[in-house]
Amino acid sequence: MAFSAIIPSHKTSSVIKISTEDPVKFTPFSQIKVVPGKIQASQIANSSLPRAFVSKDWMSNSDPLPAFNLDEYMVDKGQRVNKALIKAVPLKHPMQIHEAMRYSLLAGGKRVRPILCIAACELVGGEETLAMPVACAVEMIHTMSLIHDDLPCMDNDNLRRGKPTNHKVFGEETAILAGDALLSLAFEHVASKTTKNISPDRVVRAIAELGSAVGSEGLVGGQIVDLASEGKEISLNELEYIHLHKTAKLLEASVVCGAIIGGGNDGDVVRVRNYARSIGLLFQVVDDILDVTKSSEELGKTAGKDLVSNKATYPKLIGLDKAKKFAGELMTQAVEELAHFDPARAAPLFHLAKFICDRDN
């Protein structure tokens, strides 16, 4: 399941209980200790001592924050991202390639990555407009990965977001080229469209970050290990490698680039990087848990299909209880990383993490 489809509603899940009674109140972030480093599932799997689980306790005594509506926030930001994307890829000669690029780039989706990028920029005090070029770039990269992953020689998918996949409409050769063009445009767009008010040193750092997110140690690395692991028994470390590279890496680049362009310091960048790694894995763990705990009706897709396909999942490799515990730890870690920042500015990233954790499908 693509990460891009995670924000359909705000129902409270029974899978991992971390909600407060009032979802718009939480502990002032300054009271939460920042724990550097990344939680690994293997720590959970090998630990006989239960680690502190996310509970109401550390969210008690909370000061009220301004009301925050994630749905409204996502729709509002998403609309401005869409406008910027339409402008970034105008329909011009040669028409066929621009039509193919736009077909997939403008096919909807929640724009999670660009919104994370903008939210991270605003988290460190930058304005939305500063981050918009790099926000568009991460969406271009994400779209490229979807177009190429859908190809017959890869996942061989005919549908994406309810529409025929790019190669089904434009042919394989155009689909491959549209992906290539989107990938190169991503870098060109950041380099040529980021406002000159940003130090070019920060632009260069953002481009290096973006590149590392895509390449052989990023999306591509995750996809190649995933393809190689099909039908094989894989270890927990291999599973985590795949998720960290296929899913978390681009989320990480999104917030890191947002923080860099927004003027964040090295500490800010480390914190948003850890936040993104946590929510990237969290998404996958929750996905795996939902597959074995929910009905097909509740999920809106076939439940238990991971079991049927003998796919490596967290519940399969470490058991359902430890998978739930791991999800809780990841949520704690994600929120703790935000504790350093101004609570109002951190609210979007907090609520995004919370939604990923709480979702029902």
Q: Is 174 in the site for a copy of itself (CB under 8 A)?
A: yes
Minimum Å distance from CB 215 to a copy of itself? 4
Q: Residue 162 or residue 231: which is nearer to a copy of itself going by CB?
A: 231
Q: What is the footprint of a copy of itself within residues 201-220 (CB under 8 A)?
A: 201, 203-205, 207-208, 210-212, 214-216, 218-220
Q: What is the footprint of a copy of itself within residues 120-149 (CB under 8 A)?
A: 144, 148
Q: Residue 33 or residue 92: which is nearer to a copy of itself going by CB?
A: 92
Q: Is 117 in the site for a copy of itself (CB under 8 A)?
A: no
Q: Residue 47 or residue 192: which is nearer to a copy of itself going by CB?
A: 192
Query: Which positions from 218 to 257 touch a copy of itself by CB under 8 A, shown as an x/- string?
Result: xxxx-xxx-xx-----------------------------
Residue range at the interface with a copy of itself (CB under 8 A); choices 44-52, 183-191, 264-272, 280-288: 183-191
∠ CA 314-50-325, nearest 5°, is: 30
Which of 22, 63, 172, 321 touches a copy of itself by CB under 8 A? 172
- What single letter denotes the amino acid at residue 196? K
CA distance linking residue 183 with residue 205, whole number of Å: 17
Instruction: Give yes or no for a contact between 217 and 245, defined as CB atoms under 8 angstroms apart.
Output: yes
Q: Is 79 in the site for a copy of itself (CB under 8 A)?
A: no
Task: Give me Rg for the CA atoms of the chain.
Answer: 20
Q: Which of 126, 123, 128, 149 is nearest to 214 (CA)?
A: 149
Q: At what angle do helices 70-88 and 343-358 cross, to 10 degrees?
A: 100
Q: What is the footprint of a copy of itself within residues 84-103 (CB under 8 A)?
A: 94, 96-98, 101
Instruction: Give yes or no for a contact between 208 and 200, defined as CB atoms under 8 angstroms apart.
Output: no
Minimum Å distance from CB 256 to a copy of itself? 13
Minimum Å distance from CB 42 to a copy of itself? 17
Task: For residue 26, list its beta bridge partners.
Answer: 63
What distances in angstroms separate CA 204 from CA 119, 126, 260, 272, one per listed residue? 20, 17, 10, 19
Minimum Å distance from CB 187 to a copy of itself? 4
Task: For residue 25, list its beta bridge partners.
Answer: 64
Q: Residue 18 or residue 253: which is nearer to a copy of itself going by CB?
A: 253
**Secondary structure class of 336 (helix, strand, coil):** helix
Minimum Å distance from CB 178 to a copy of itself? 8
163-164 and 159-160 strand pairing: antiparallel
* Alpha helix ranges (H) inside 198-265: 200-214, 219-229, 236-243, 249-261
Q: Residue 33 or residue 93: which is nearer to a copy of itself going by CB?
A: 93
Which of 88, 105, 136, 185 touches a copy of itself by CB under 8 A? 185
DSSP 129-185: HHHHHHHHHHHHHHHHHHHHHTSTTTT--SEETTEE-HHHHH-HHHHHHHHHHHHHH
Minimum Å distance from CB 6 to a copy of itself? 24
Binding stretches for a copy of itself (CB under 8 A): 94, 96-98, 101, 144, 148, 151, 153-154, 171-174, 176-177, 179-181, 183-192, 199-201, 203-205, 207-208, 210-212, 214-216, 218-221, 223-225, 227-228
